[in-house]
Amino acid sequence: KAGVTQTPRYLIKTRGQQVTLSCSPISGHRSVSWYQQTPGQGLQFLFEYFSETQRNKGNFPGRFSGRQFSNSRSEMNVSTLELGDSALYLCASSIQGVELFFGEGSRLTVL
Amino acid sequence: KQEVTQIPAALSVPEGENLVLNCSFTDSAIYNLQWFRQDPGKGLTSLLLIQSSQREQTSGRLNASLDKSSGRSTLYIAASQPGDSATYLCAVANSGYSTLTFGKGTMLLVSP
């Protein structure tokens, strides 16, 4: 059974650019959530989608957005990148939001 | 606001030792608690999930306990091995909506 797949795994952007990250959940999982991991703040919740609807959102600025498609795949977008957005972005999927299974992450570096 | 604390922040032990990692949380009204493992530069691997109605869960050499009233969970690793070296993260859910609050983790090094 395939796990959670995140693409791209690594990317480098410059300040002011935007970035889109993709997440394919485990087959049959309808909940997808996103987390940001930095050395200083640790893991922080970004948002969660279930059946194409955002159910919950963390305390991040509006530059961070996401969506979920009918096949449960999800994307998150960060606009007007700042140096502080450099982080490992982790996607997790679950059947109903209970037990989470994480992907390998997308490591974003903003120069 | 839920806060999760993990002690110790780092731990170095020789192979074969039994060890305990601690996790505490401020809001006892939790939905569940999950322990994860993270290898350097990698994603999170789920180790154990404890529902709020449960007291403990076991998987192989791992045993996790939960005491909601005191806001504590422990992860017990028996007969540690060098392959257990990783960062161990505790995460608490206050609802069933995938919103986890994480501790900062315990970095474990097991020496041969």
Give the one of A45, A102, A107 whose C-beta lies nearest to B99's C-beta: A45
Please indicate whether, in this complex, the C-beta atoms of B46 and A102 are within 8 angstroms of each other.
Answer: yes
What residues of chain B, 33 to 92, have a C-beta less than 8 Å from chain A?
A: 34, 36, 41-46, 49, 89, 91
Specify the pLDDT at position A49.
Answer: 94
Neighbours of A90 (CB within 10 A): 25
Q: How many angstroms away from the CA of A44 is the closest CA of chain B?
A: 7
Provide, rounded to the nearest whole percent, the portion of chain A with pLDDT above 90.
91
Confidence check: pLDDT of A1 > 90: no
CB-side exposure of A9: number of CA atoms within 13 Å?
7
Residue A99: pLDDT above 90?
A: no
